[in-house]
Structure 1
Amino acid sequence: MTRLRLQHRLIAVCTMATCVATAVATGNNPASDDTAMLGFTSSDAAKQQSLEQRFDAQLDPADQRNWLKQMSSQPNQVGSPHDKANAEFMLAKFREWGWDAHIETFSVLYPTPKKVALELLGPRPFTAALKEPTIPGDATSSIHDGALPPYNVYGADGDVTAKLVYANNGMPDDYKDLARRGIDVRGKIVLTRYGGGWRGLKPKLAQQHGAIGCLIYSDPHEDGYAKGDVYPKGGWRPADGVQRGSVADMQVYPGDPLTPGIGSVPGAKRLAIKDATSLLKIPVLPISYADATPLLQALAGPVAPANWRGSLPLTYHVGPSTAKVHLTVQSDWGQKPVYDVIAKLKGSTEPDQWIVRGNHHDGWVFGAWDPLAGNVALMAEAKAIGALVKQGWRPQRTLVYASWDGEEPGLLGSTEWAETHAKELQAKAVMYVNSDTNGRGFLAAGGSHSLQHLVNQVADGVTDPETHVSVRERLRAHMLIAGNDEDAKPEAKDVAKIAAQGGDVPLSALGSGSDFSAFLEHLGIASLDLGFSDEDDDEGIYHSQYDSFDHYVRFGDPTFEYGIALSKVVGHIVLRSADANVLPMRFGDFSSTLDRYVDELHKLVDKTRKATDEQHKLLDGHAFTLDADPTRPIAPPERDSDVPAIDLAPLDQAAKQLTQSAQAFETAYSKRAATGFNLPAKQGLELNAQMGRMEQALTNSDGLPTRPWFKHMVYAPGMLTGYGVKTLPGVREALEARRWDEANHYTVITAKVIDHYRQQLDQLTVLLDTKS
């Protein structure tokens, strides 16, 4: 898995609401500007800058290169000997650098394939290779012992034979298009291509529509020769490359499928496999475009719509096929250990406030880019911080550095650790900072909007290795260019407008796809997700055998300068958060963002009502029937339900009151900052403790509808987007699914959550206003 780099959660394609929020954020924050270091007095800010310079001096790209080569030298998936060896290697390094470190082990359900097979029957039989051959110049591509074959973890076992239907990306609208063409997938095997939505939704929706199996292939249109030269000449996916990945229903809950909501520790009550709602009921298999080509050629039926066609040299049909396909998946459904490496440096004055930093270390095969490029940046930070400690510095707050295991199958290591330590984390953790992959190019940053200004200040102080301006200003230029392209999407145009105004660039909202999920969306801990990308050519080898050291040093970050840049950005955020007089959070940024999210809901209601009225007019006028080609029949779409009155007034009022409270807080903050945060020690501790718990006020104990594990009422992965975020999800997803009563119900629930957040903010203002 990875951060949403492949769909992806890049800053430059954040939602309009998030981006527009930045334009007004500074108006709600009179106390803060770009020149004053957030959370520090002027004298302490100078000391902090000196500390960060000493931190930077410890960073060496040779370290990251050497660690990456060693850690990606053997298959590195969950349960492999090298995965354990890597954990033990990091444990020794953390201890060498002066950290109090240990390995925390969890036992999780992790099925591995015993047999996978795929064949096309009939007059032109074909047997799929289902393997990735050795590539000249890639030393590890010849290592097959200990490597798992291409498969999708948490798909069901099965031995099925049926005709094939092509369903494009396998998303809801694709099934509507099939139905309009009179094509039923019940009792069929569905062939989908990667893209358009998260992989786990493809077999889930196929299953819901009655299919008995699902295949997912990588079309060269997305990440093969249509993008550039394929590996080894270029970085893109070769014909036999396969994207592995999890298909667990992580939108319901991530982590061990048998222990939802609790840690997978000895004695934990586990579900029976048949009762685990995050597991699929049909077999699913990923395949290469070399293996997919004969299957696509076997399809009959209508020619696929234009936007369903990839880049293979054939005519795309939707099916069904004339010949049947035989698919076999058999797995060992046993338990495997995951090894989380946990390292701590106890804080000197506020030890019960934790800054938690994480990246995972398990890969699908070798995992040089995903995830080890990010993991070695984390290690470099830990080494540099250890050197600072040996020089006499000590963080005021406790630092917790974690290298997670089992992220790829379903955020296993981070989720089980967070669930096991939930009470302690909610009492102590004030921030979680995540990374995953790392490449070359532009900073991607997403997270809690109370941390937006902190990220901007840090990014403005880190130099981009290629252009020698700050990484923030390079990102701003990237936004301007992308938004002014004639083919730019509206979201990119909106980003460009904000970027042109100067000031902060926006954080994107977080959905899922990496280890921040348990911290942000389950426990309500303010979180960030950071990395560099968009100039490297790594997407083509995503989750394949070719995600190797040799590929990364040619097409990823050859000089490891962006590994150093990531260590600087994250390291400075960690150091500032550890030592700030007042936690570096700015709640007016969240308030401004919320205003735009609420405005977006109003626009969604209006757009939906207008589109519904237009559809009804077209149906009543028989326009679809008259427009259709009689020789290529296509039925009209199903009639959408009428849009009733939607009452968003409770959210409007809650957002308005929060704006007022945010302004009052910032005024009080400004006064305190001007006097050097001269709070009595007890009062200062209480202020920071309450600030650290603010994000928890945005959660609801009952969680989201049908998925109570997700408790955050502002950020969540969409049920039909996978990794992609849905903001104000209880209301937004109900509107999009036309569940009108549910939308009105969650408007009230979400408004109450926002009111609780406002009340907590008002308490912070009282603490700041109280005379010393």
Structure 2
Amino acid sequence: MRKILLLFFTFSITAAFAQQKTLSGYTKTSSDQEWEAEKKFDSYLQPANLDVWMKRLAGRPHHLGSAYGKQNAEFMRDLFKSWGYDAQIETYKVLFPTPKVRQLELVGPTKFTARLAEPALKEDATSGQTKEQLPTYNAWSADGDVTAELVFVNYGVPDDYDQLERMGIDVRGKIVIAKYGGSWRGIKPKVAQEHGAIGCLIYSDPEGDGYHQGDVYPKGPFRPQHGVQRGSVSDMPIYPGDPLTPGIGATEDAKRLDRKDAGNLLKIPVQPISYADAQPLLAALGGPVAPEKWRGALPFTYHVGPGAAKVHLKLEFDWKLVDCHNVIAKLKGSELPDEWVVRGNHHDAWVNGANDPISGMVALMEEARAVSELVKTGFRPKRTLVYCAWDGEEPSLIGSTEWVEHHATELQQKVVAYINSDGNGRGFLDAGGSHTLETLMDEVSRDVTDPQTGIPVRDRARAYKATTAVGAKARKDILDKKVLTLSALGSGSDYSPFFQHLGIPSLNLGYGGEDDGGEYHSIYDSYDMYVRFKDPKFAYGIALAKTAGRATLRLANADVLPFDFKAFSKTVNGYLTEVMTLLDNLRESTEVENQMIKDNVFVQAADPLIKYVPPTPKDAVPFLNFSSLQNALTSLEKASTLYADLRANNTVPNTNLTTLNETLYRAEQKLMADAGLPRRAWYRHTIYAPGFYTGYGVKTLPGIREGIEQRAWAEAQEQIEATAKAIERYTKEVEAASRILMMR
């Protein structure tokens, strides 16, 4: 079936390639000029440049605060300057802990000392740079010296602790061990801490990240037995960036919190380990056999514990301030210099970081260079382009967050949109962002050709989704939808401060899906790994440059910014249906569960070591009043339809064009809640946010949805009203844009 569908799409080339269309936001004349500029732009893109720059930038470890990280920033700044950009480095002073002591031992029933290190490989030229490599650790773990029984908690997400509770297992005073996967890593120690655990280990199970997936590195791309995933475990759903300066830029003289008062830092020690180090620990566990869905691919029966298995974990960190170097390169707009299109990718890595993030960074650089070549021909973007190379993304989106907080007022006044990328590889387009930008990205993805199949990247992505869909109806729904659909954005990359803190329309773009591997955040994320297994000819790096480059240029040159309020309205109406259904389902399941408890009906385990504990009856789920939000969305639907009708012929108004465009790109800011989301005021967007317990994963209508999930009924009702007011403010902006169009 997959081959048939892919062949179908190969021969079903969209009409855009047979007949050139006027771009949204452009007149016929300006559209023709844009098409001509983009053809030239494509001709300037050279994959050899990506290869050379990756070899240079990933040549040595370049984490936040490292000497080579600073050298990379200076190298990129100088390149941007040579291309005609006004480029500089903006430096912030930020907290960044690095390990001084790391010890992990199994102290009973047998003895074992964990290696906590990744071996160099002769097949990987940079894997032996041990003096410059950050050791295997989780940034923002607390210092600690703890010894306790071990408990296996599966992925360590809230549902897993519900299962443990039903099994009569308590983690208070214990050290937990969790698998990577199932959520962002920082959620695992957060939930463990909330349940009273005194330490947390996180390991990569070979079922999802190792030999169960295929040959391990260097024979294949998957994680070898001693490979370890480093990473941040700050409570980023509270706020990202420098923990000591929430809400303000971390300049030299910034007022800083005492570390103990930082609301997003953990109180327990956390250490990532390889599956080679995890195997003796898990094998020593007693207690009940783990539920079937919890079991991994290691060669023994998985048990939950606790019991004889006892471990000692000792961690100590150097909590110091380091320099965070952002590269900011501007190309002044020819007509609208105070309207900015910002394009960013981070440059720091946990070690060498060829894939994450240099594959995306070199695509951005080539995109910027190709734009500079266009300028030499006499073409200059109408709006100012700002190309950014962020530092400190890996620990907690530090560089972008500090820059956004430092320049917040100016950015809210000037930035039309922010376009982000990160790691990139062979495969399918993945595009997420504000749904007002959906039409723009549909047209961009229609006009970029996939290097492997020769069809539009939009169509290849749709074919992939159809072939991997579960069920005939899901497949049909995908095939029937002829336009690109943007995914909603949670967190995990540098769009977050722009989008969810300031309300700047944002996109996150990248390719992948045929570049699977286990090098993530290890010493094996190297140039050698990348050119063997990820994107050997940098064809998808060029595809990313074409995709992000078109989005950047079309926003920079549009006569009327191509914002699609109708797409946004339709999407948010879908989110409302989801949360109302969530409430109904929760009410029904609560009634059923409470009846089962009343009837004394609960499952007895086959395993005699499992003592199932019946759950406590829950409060009944009330009915919430959604009428204010339903009414607000009805008004938005009318306003967005009117605006779409007025813009249907792409006629550009003769007057008030600047005011119109400012109204369009600032409309998203009206969706910000002044008080922020409950328990995390830094996140202010009422429509999109990372989940409180999902981390990277998005929660749409987050205040409402999470109020329902947490059974905080009064809070959920308050958030319905707050979201309705935000939609009403937003609708007024759409109506104002329509009035300008009617004045022409």
Q: What TM-score comes out, normalization by structure 2 length?
A: 0.96
Per the TM alignment, residue 679 of structure 1 is displaced from its structure 2 partner at its CA by 1.7
Which residue of structure 2 lines up, in the alignment, with residue 449 of structure 1?
435
CA distance in 1, matches of 2:70, 2:635: 51
Moved more, 385-394 or 438-447: 385-394
CA distance in 2, matches of 1:639, 1:51: 65
For 1:686-712, what per-residue CA distance to the aligned partner results, in whole angstroms no more than 9, with x for missing partners?
Answer: 101111101101111110001010000
The 5-angstrom pairing of residues 309-458 of structure 1 reads: 309-458=295-444
Is 1:719 the equivalent of 2:705?
Answer: no
The amino acid that maps onto 1:702 is A
The 5-angstrom pairing of residues 186-197 of structure 1 reads: 186-197=172-183
CA distance in 2, matches of 1:640, 1:648: 23
CA distance in 1, matches of 2:571, 2:670: 16
The amino acid that maps onto 2:557 is D
CA distance in 2, matches of 1:625, 1:360: 50
Is 1:739 the equivalent of 2:696?
Answer: no
Contact 1:625–1:635 (8 Å) recurs in 2: no
The amino acid that maps onto 1:65 is D
Is 1:533 the equivalent of 2:521?
Answer: no
CA distance in 1, matches of 2:309, 2:418: 52
Contact 1:339–1:413 (8 Å) recurs in 2: yes
Moved more, 182-191 or 708-717: 182-191
CA distance in 1, matches of 2:356, 2:605: 48
Contact 2:689–2:699 (8 Å) recurs in 1: yes
Per the TM alignment, residue 627 of structure 1 is displaced from its structure 2 partner at its CA by 7.4
Which of 533, 540, 544 matches 1:566?
544
The amino acid that maps onto 1:732 is R
CA distance in 2, matches of 1:498, 1:342: 42
Which residue of structure 2 lines up, in the alignment, with residue 557 of structure 1?
535
Per the TM alignment, residue 35 of structure 1 is displaced from its structure 2 partner at its CA by 3.8
Contact 1:136–1:232 (8 Å) recurs in 2: no
Which of 187, 201, 217 matches 1:231?
217
The amino acid that maps onto 2:24 is L
Per the TM alignment, residue 146 of structure 1 is displaced from its structure 2 partner at its CA by 1.2
For 1:589-625, what per-residue CA distance to the aligned partner results, in whole angstroms no more than 9, with x for missing partners?
Answer: 0011011111111111111111111111211122205
Which residue of structure 2 lines up, in the alignment, with residue 633 of structure 1?
611
Moved more, 140-149 or 706-715: 140-149
Which residue of structure 1 lines up, in the alignment, with residue 3 of structure 2?
none
CA distance in 1, matches of 2:247, 2:390: 18
For 1:133-183, what per-residue CA distance to the aligned partner results, in whole angstroms no more than 9, with x for missing partners?
Answer: 012311111111111100000110011111111111111111111122221
Which residue of structure 1 lines up, in the alignment, with residue 584 of structure 2?
606
The structure whose RCO (Cα within 8 Å, separation 6+) is larger is 1
Is 1:766 the equivalent of 2:744?
Answer: no
The amino acid that maps onto 2:454 is H
The structure-2 alpha-carbon separation of the partners of 1:735 and 1:40, relative to structure 1 and needing over 3 Å to count, comes to same
The structure-2 alpha-carbon separation of the partners of 1:627 and 1:150, relative to structure 1 and needing over 3 Å to count, comes to closer
Which of 462, 483, 498 matches 1:504?
483
* Structure 2 counterpart SS, 1:693: helix
CA distance in 1, matches of 2:476, 2:75: 47
CA distance in 2, matches of 1:679, 1:610: 57
Per the TM alignment, residue 370 of structure 1 is displaced from its structure 2 partner at its CA by 0.3
Per the TM alignment, residue 631 of structure 1 is displaced from its structure 2 partner at its CA by 6.4
Contact 1:172–1:205 (8 Å) recurs in 2: yes
Structure 1: which 5+ residue stretches go unaligned?
A: 1-32, 487-492
The 5-angstrom pairing of residues 173-192 of structure 1 reads: 173-192=159-178
Contact 1:79–1:338 (8 Å) recurs in 2: yes
The amino acid that maps onto 1:686 is T
Which residue of structure 2 lines up, in the alignment, with residue 545 of structure 1?
523
Contact 1:121–1:325 (8 Å) recurs in 2: yes
Which of 119, 122, 135 matches 2:121?
135
The amino acid that maps onto 1:766 is R
For 1:186-233, what per-residue CA distance to the aligned partner results, in whole angstroms no more than 9, with x for missing partners?
Answer: 111111110111100111111111111100000001111111111111
CA distance in 1, matches of 2:366, 2:324: 23
The 5-angstrom pairing of residues 489-500 of structure 1 reads: 494=474, 496-500=475-479
CA distance in 2, matches of 1:411, 1:757: 28
Flag as ranges the 4+ runs of structure 1 deviating above 4 A: 625-631
The structure-2 alpha-carbon separation of the partners of 1:154 and 1:548, relative to structure 1 and needing over 3 Å to count, comes to same
* Structure 1 counterpart SS, 2:208: helix
Is 1:522 the equivalent of 2:501?
Answer: yes
Which residue of structure 2 lines up, in the alignment, with residue 30 of structure 1?
none
Contact 1:296–1:317 (8 Å) recurs in 2: yes
The amino acid that maps onto 1:533 is G
Is 1:63 the equivalent of 2:49?
Answer: yes
CA distance in 1, matches of 2:309, 2:419: 51
The 5-angstrom pairing of residues 300-311 of structure 1 reads: 300-311=286-297
Contact 1:34–1:457 (8 Å) recurs in 2: no
* Structure 2 counterpart SS, 1:385: helix
The structure-2 alpha-carbon separation of the partners of 1:498 and 1:694, relative to structure 1 and needing over 3 Å to count, comes to farther
Number of aligned residues:
726
The 5-angstrom pairing of residues 5-44 of structure 1 reads: 35-44=21-30
Per the TM alignment, residue 502 of structure 1 is displaced from its structure 2 partner at its CA by 4.0
Contact 1:229–1:236 (8 Å) recurs in 2: yes
Is 1:755 the equivalent of 2:734?
Answer: no
* Structure 2 counterpart SS, 1:751: helix
The amino acid that maps onto 1:697 is K
Which residue of structure 1 lines up, in the alignment, with residue 635 of structure 2?
657
Per the TM alignment, residue 633 of structure 1 is displaced from its structure 2 partner at its CA by 2.5
Per the TM alignment, residue 626 of structure 1 is displaced from its structure 2 partner at its CA by 6.1
* Structure 2 counterpart SS, 1:249: coil
Per the TM alignment, residue 323 of structure 1 is displaced from its structure 2 partner at its CA by 3.6
Aligned-pair Cα RMSD in Å = 1.4
Which of 582, 585, 588 matches 2:560?
582
Per the TM alignment, residue 637 of structure 1 is displaced from its structure 2 partner at its CA by 2.6
The structure-2 alpha-carbon separation of the partners of 1:627 and 1:78, relative to structure 1 and needing over 3 Å to count, comes to closer
CA distance in 2, matches of 1:201, 1:325: 22
Contact 1:498–1:505 (8 Å) recurs in 2: no
* Structure 2 counterpart SS, 1:139: coil
CA distance in 2, matches of 1:187, 1:741: 33
Contact 2:168–2:610 (8 Å) recurs in 1: no
Moved more, 38-47 or 102-111: 38-47
The amino acid that maps onto 1:67 is W
The 5-angstrom pairing of residues 251-270 of structure 1 reads: 251-270=237-256
CA distance in 2, matches of 1:505, 1:646: 34
Contact 2:605–2:612 (8 Å) recurs in 1: no
* Structure 1 counterpart SS, 2:120: coil
For 1:36-91, what per-residue CA distance to the aligned partner results, in whole angstroms no more than 9, with x for missing partners?
Answer: 31100112111111100100111000000110011111011111111011001000
Per the TM alignment, residue 670 of structure 1 is displaced from its structure 2 partner at its CA by 2.3
Which of 190, 199, 209 matches 1:213?
199
CA distance in 1, matches of 2:108, 2:152: 18
Which residue of structure 1 lines up, in the alignment, with residue 4 of structure 2?
none
Is 1:708 the equivalent of 2:681?
Answer: yes
Which residue of structure 1 lines up, in the alignment, with residue 460 of structure 2?
474
The amino acid that maps onto 2:308 is T
Identity %: 53
Is 1:94 the equivalent of 2:80?
Answer: yes
CA distance in 2, matches of 1:123, 1:678: 79
